[in-house]
């Protein structure tokens, strides 16, 4: 075993319901401010409906097919649902809409899952490399990198892969392959840890990785697909602190 890789949401970081509601309020308020300042006050009154509809369309068009898109495409869908022609907006306006949409969690940070910092540090002390794969949703890779830096997790992760930048989501093999290739190891030298049996455990195991199912004691608001196939993890833990003795035992057993 040379690499321990992690899922992000509900494995290393999480939002509770109150934080998620605050993020939504911040997005809606700031999107409305940008649109109103550009002469779209009438359309801005319908902003919450367009916000919800654009999420539904992303799910129907992309995420349900394990595909992902740049954050700018989410903004374009949002504007379509709002009745605003994105092609008639200047680049500065589109950039500002994307910024206020994508970065609210940078300002109001998620919480670190208990034990996350400690387990990553302990893994690295044992000479193992670390990686991360995240399906992104409304918070794109560039914002998540900043979040992980502020939470002091980014310096401990050798490679980070985000679905909106890659173009496909877990459990598709291509996103696991990007991580494997970047770390220059074989799949059978990697172990993946995640909270969702389908996207994390199934995705990793069908590539030839070992996989641990993490069941967080307190689940946040991140949404993940339901399990669609029978999946058997190599192990299950409900506390990240329990990973170390488990990893030692797996190493001893070869």
pLDDT for 117-175, tens place per residue?
999 999 999 999 999 999 999 999 999 999 999 999 999 999 999 999 999 999 999 99
pTM of the model: 0.93
pLDDT for 75-133, tens place per residue?
999 999 999 999 989 999 999 999 999 999 999 999 999 999 999 999 999 999 999 99
Q: Decide if pLDDT at 217 tops 90.
A: no
pLDDT band for position 222 (50/70/90)?
confident
Rounded Cα distance between 57 and 246, Å, is 41
| Cα 25–Cα 226–Cα 67 angle in degrees, nearest 5 | 70
pLDDT band for position 250 (50/70/90)?
confident
């Amino acid at each position: 075993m040379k690499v321990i890789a992690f899922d992000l949401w509900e494995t290393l970081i999480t939002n509770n319901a109150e934080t998620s509601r605050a993020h939504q309020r911040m997005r809606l308020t700031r999107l409305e401010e940008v649109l109103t300042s550009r002469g779209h006050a009438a359309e801005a009154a319908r902003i919450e409906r367009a916000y919800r509809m654009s999420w539904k369309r992303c799910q129907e068009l992309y995420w349900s097919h394990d595909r992902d898109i740049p954050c700018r495409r989410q903004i374009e869908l949002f504007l379509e649902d709002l009745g605003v022609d994105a092609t008639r907006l200047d680049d500065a306006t589109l950039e500002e809409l994307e910024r206020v949409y994508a970065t609210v969690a940078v300002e109001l940070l998620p919480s670190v899952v208990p034990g996350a910092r400690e387990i990553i540090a302990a893994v690295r002390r044992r000479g193992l490399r670390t990686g991360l794969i995240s399906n992104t949703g409304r918070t794109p890779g560039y914002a998540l990198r900043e979040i992980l830096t502020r939470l002091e997790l980014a310096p401990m992760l050798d490679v980070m892969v985000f679905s909106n930048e890659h173009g496909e989501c877990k459990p598709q093999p291509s996103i696991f392959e990007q991580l494997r290739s970047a770390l220059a190891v074989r799949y059978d030298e990697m172990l993946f840890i995640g909270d969702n049996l389908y996207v994390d455990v199934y995705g990793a195991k069908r590539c030839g990785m070992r996989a641990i199912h993490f069941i967080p004691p307190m689940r946040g608001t991140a949404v993940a697909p339901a399990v669609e196939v029978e999946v058997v993890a190599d192990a299950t833990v409900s506390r990240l602190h329990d990973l170390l003795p488990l990893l030692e035992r797996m190493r001893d057993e070869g």
